[in-house]
Structures are given as structure tokens and as C-alpha cells.
């Protein structure tokens, strides 16, 4: 990922932040994404297509979210 991203609102510097999801209990997991029409497998999980990365503006707090496909 390039690190020269700029905020679309105020042109501030975007810093990478970790997007986390609260799983079972208090365990935090990196956020992932699946296709909108993905069906749950028998395991109860969706087939994951990638992870979610967030970048937050250091000036105004705007968060931009990108999907990073995994192989």
C-alpha cells in the first residue's frame, strides 16, 4: 500500500489504522470481507475474499476503508 494517501476532505495525512471486529467474547479480529451474495459454509463462516484496511486522517478523523484481496 502506498503511504502517500491524502484525505479527500481536508488534504491531511492519512495514517493506517487497524480495523477490528469483536468476535466471540472479547477477542478482536481483523475485519475481512466476503462477496455480497456469499453463502455461509457449513462451518458457519463466509468464504473470505480479502481483508479490510483503514486509513484515518490525522487532521479531521475521516476514515477511508480499502479492501485488500487475499489469495
Q: Which residues bind Zn ion (CB under 5 A)?
A: 7, 9-10, 12, 57, 59-60, 62
Residue with smaller CB distance to Zn ion, 47 or 61: 61
Residue with cell 488534504: 11
d(CA 68, CA 61) in angstroms, rounded, equals 22
Paired with 3 in beta bridges are none
Residue with smaller CB distance to Zn ion, 52 or 62: 62
How near is the Cβ of 48 to Zn ion at its closest, in Å? 30
How near is the Cβ of 54 to Zn ion at its closest, in Å? 14
Paired with 29 in beta bridges are 21
Amino acid at each position: 500500500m502506498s503511504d502517500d494517501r491524502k484525505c479527500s476532505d481536508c488534504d491531511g495525512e492519512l495514517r493506517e489504522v487497524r480495523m477490528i471486529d469483536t468476535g466471540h467474547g472479547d477477542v478482536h479480529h481483523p475485519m475481512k470481507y466476503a462477496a455480497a451474495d456469499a453463502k455461509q459454509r457449513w462451518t458457519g463462516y463466509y468464504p473470505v475474499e480479502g481483508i479490510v484496511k483503514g486509513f484515518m486522517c490525522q487532521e479531521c478523523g475521516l476514515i477511508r476503508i480499502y479492501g485488500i484481496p487475499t489469495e
